[in-house]
Chains A and B, each alone.
Chain A
Amino acid sequence: MRVGITAFAQEQLGDVVFVELPKVGARVTAHQAFGVVESVKAVSDLFAPVTGEVVEVNPELASKPEIVNQDPYGKGWMLVVQPADPGEWDGLLTSQQYEEFLAQDAH
């Protein structure tokens, strides 16, 4: 499973200037912080959507953190996680469901 942040999150954060990620082989736990993202103004925790093992880390982010802003669903990905329980997929929202959730929240 490829992990990153949403378009809404990068918009709220503003210009991303540093991303701190776990190493390949590390374990991440659903709903717990696995790293941080720093924008010019603030530092924010990154939360894991599922429990599992990190099998890949985006090597581009060390030198080009701004791609998190430019392409959060594409080049700005952060980790690939091998989920321990594939059933956890079912608890996640699609980007369209998430947009709907945000739209409701705004009312």
Chain B
Amino acid sequence: MDTPLKRTPLHHAHVKAGARMVPFGGWEMPVQYTGIVEEHRAVRAAVGCFDVSHMGEFEVEGAGALAALQRLTTNDVAALAIGQVQYSLLCHAHGGIVDDLTVYRLGAERYMLTVNAANIDKDWAHLMAEGRHPGARWRDVSDATGLIAVQGPRAEALVGRLADADVTSILYYHAAPRSLAGVPALVSRTGYTGEDGFELYVAAADTERLWTALLEAGRTDAVAPIGLGARDTLRLEMRYALYGNDIDDTTNPLEAGLGWVVKPAKGDFLGREAIERVRAAGPSRRLVGLEMIERAVPRHGYRILKDGAPVGVVTSGSYGPTVDRSIALGYVPAALAAVGTALDVEIRGQPRAARVAKTPFHPSRVKKG
């Protein structure tokens, strides 16, 4: 498997800025510029810019687009107004998660799906196999699309300064077209950090121009470029699931705590029957937040123990810079999922004390309502 790593339109900008580049989901991406903790704090305190151009974008258009999406995704696409965004899931008939994604309603009969970078090929194959609906025209626009996330308490001021029209009126999980520093962009008030902020969709060829403009205009806001390392610690403090770690083809939405984006009342969709069976019986295990009593760091794949016996597995774990302790997500039996339950994580052969924690670990500051 020597497939060359793919590069985003910002590759040269990252290398020039001295970023440490690593392979991630088939892409060569910046893991850090100056340091994960410093970058994490910059986003919580001021504003950071993330290159997330590796993510995939698909468009579906036509009289059959809504029906195709209603069958493919678990959330209720009919509830979306034009310009509204929805977090959702693609599921298999057996209830396992193909991917998590955001669904944008761009027009009366036009939608965009944003999917995980590592899943672009798998998702496209799934959509082509299950979403071929008469009157639904699909297009993979991943390579043509650049994506920059601007996140943090100063994000609104920074993006607003570059925009040709007000951005404060763009509400959480809504998107609208704007021109930013002369670059046409879809400005989406979404993110993966728990801070207020935007994700900016632009043409691949315009991505570097916008990136440079954001970093220059953001100097007064103490803006910083942020790598995937801090993106991971920021999302973990918020308990946002990471596909491939916390959710995958073998996990169902209910045990992952994603029942809030499953809407059986909307009608049939892939996975509905299987998920409803889980709902009736109650999930046998649950994805919970864990906080370590000691400072030792739990990592993906470590075993979770109760009284010395293995009961589950850590799916994500790290030191959380804002909460200043080691935190994790992991699956445990439903009977051990209550907040406060004492458990151990096996770290290098030793049981280390942990407890089930309330999540998010750090309060969300997204701009709701």
Q: Do A and B associate with each other?
A: yes
A14 to B40, CA, bound (A): 13
- Report, as a range, how many residues of chain B touch the other chain: 10 to 19
Tell me the smallest distance from the CB of A97 to a CB of chain B, in Å: 26
Majority-rule SS of B interface residues? mixed
Task: Kindly list chain B residues whose C-beta atoms are within 8 Å of the C-beta of A39.
Answer: 36
A43 to B318, CA, bound (A): 11
Tell me the smallest distance from the CB of A64 to a CB of chain B, in Å: 11
Q: Are the C-beta atoms of A14 and B35 separated by less than 8 Å?
A: yes
The verdict on B66 contacting chain A, using a C-beta distance below 8 Å, is: no
The verdict on A41 contacting chain B, using a C-beta distance below 8 Å, is: yes
Q: Are the C-beta atoms of B37 and A15 separated by less than 8 Å?
A: yes
Q: Are the C-beta atoms of A38 and B37 separated by less than 8 Å?
A: no
A18 to B296, CA, bound (A): 6
- Report, as a range, how many residues of chain A touch the other chain: 10 to 19
Partner of A40, one of B37, B295, B296, B348: B37
The verdict on B138 contacting chain A, using a C-beta distance below 8 Å, is: no
Interface string of A17-43 (1 = CB under 8 A from B): 110100000000000000010111101
| Complex A-B: 20 CB contacts under 8 Å | A14-B35, A14-B36, A14-B229, A15-B38, A17-B295, A17-B319, A18-B296, A18-B297, A20-B296, A20-B348, A38-B296, A38-B297, A38-B319, A39-B36, A40-B36, A40-B37, A40-B319, A41-B318, A43-B297, A43-B299
Q: Are the C-beta atoms of A41 and B326 separated by less than 8 Å?
A: no
A39 to B233, CA, bound (A): 12
The verdict on B167 contacting chain A, using a C-beta distance below 8 Å, is: no
Q: Are the C-beta atoms of A62 and B32 separated by less than 8 Å?
A: no
Tell me the smallest distance from the CB of A69 to a CB of chain B, in Å: 8
Most buried by A among B38, B319, B321: B319
- Report A39-68 residues with CB < 8 Å from chain B CB: 39-41, 43, 62, 65
Beyond the given pairs A15-B35, A40-B233, 16 more chain A to chain B contacts, judged by CB atoms under 8 angstroms and listed by A's residue number, are: A14-B32, A15-B36, A15-B319, A17-B295, A17-B319, A18-B295, A18-B296, A18-B326, A20-B296, A36-B348, A40-B37, A40-B229, A40-B321, A41-B31, A43-B297, A43-B299
Q: Are the C-beta atoms of B295 and A41 separated by less than 8 Å?
A: no
Interface contact tally, CB-CB below 8 A? 40
Closest to B325 in A: A17
A106 to B36, CA, bound (A): 25
Task: Kindly list chain B residues whose C-beta atoms are within 8 Å of the C-beta of A20.
Answer: 296, 348
A38 to B294, CA, bound (A): 13
Task: Kindly list chain A residues whose C-beta atoms are within 8 Å of the C-beta of B31.
Answer: 41
Task: Kindly list chain B residues whose C-beta atoms are within 8 Å of the C-beta of A43.
Answer: 297, 299
Tell me the smallest distance from the CB of A22 to a CB of chain B, in Å: 13
Q: Are the C-beta atoms of B299 and A40 separated by less than 8 Å?
A: no
Task: Kindly list chain B residues whose C-beta atoms are within 8 Å of the C-beta of A18.
Answer: 295-297, 319, 326
A6 to B32, CA, bound (A): 20
A49 to B321, CA, bound (A): 32
Q: Are the C-beta atoms of A41 and B229 separated by less than 8 Å?
A: yes
- On whether A41 and B348 interact (CB within 8 A), knowing A18-B296, A18-B326, the answer reads no
Tell me the smallest distance from the CB of A70 to a CB of chain B, in Å: 12
Tell me the smallest distance from the CB of A61 to a CB of chain B, in Å: 10
Task: Kindly list chain B residues whose C-beta atoms are within 8 Å of the C-beta of A15.
Answer: 35-38, 319
Task: Kindly list chain A residues whose C-beta atoms are within 8 Å of the C-beta of B35.
Answer: 14-15
Partner of B36, one of A38, A41, A62: A41
Task: Kindly list chain B residues whose C-beta atoms are within 8 Å of the C-beta of A17.
Answer: 295, 297, 319, 326
A62 to B295, CA, bound (A): 8
A65 to B319, CA, bound (A): 12
Tell me the smallest distance from the CB of A47 to a CB of chain B, in Å: 16
Task: Kindly list chain A residues whose C-beta atoms are within 8 Å of the C-beta of B233.
Answer: 40
A39 to B32, CA, bound (A): 13
A14 to B30, CA, bound (A): 14
Tell me the smallest distance from the CB of B367 to a CB of chain A, in Å: 28
Task: Kindly list chain A residues whose C-beta atoms are within 8 Å of the C-beta of B318.
Answer: 40-41
Task: Kindly list chain A residues whose C-beta atoms are within 8 Å of the C-beta of B326.
Answer: 17-18
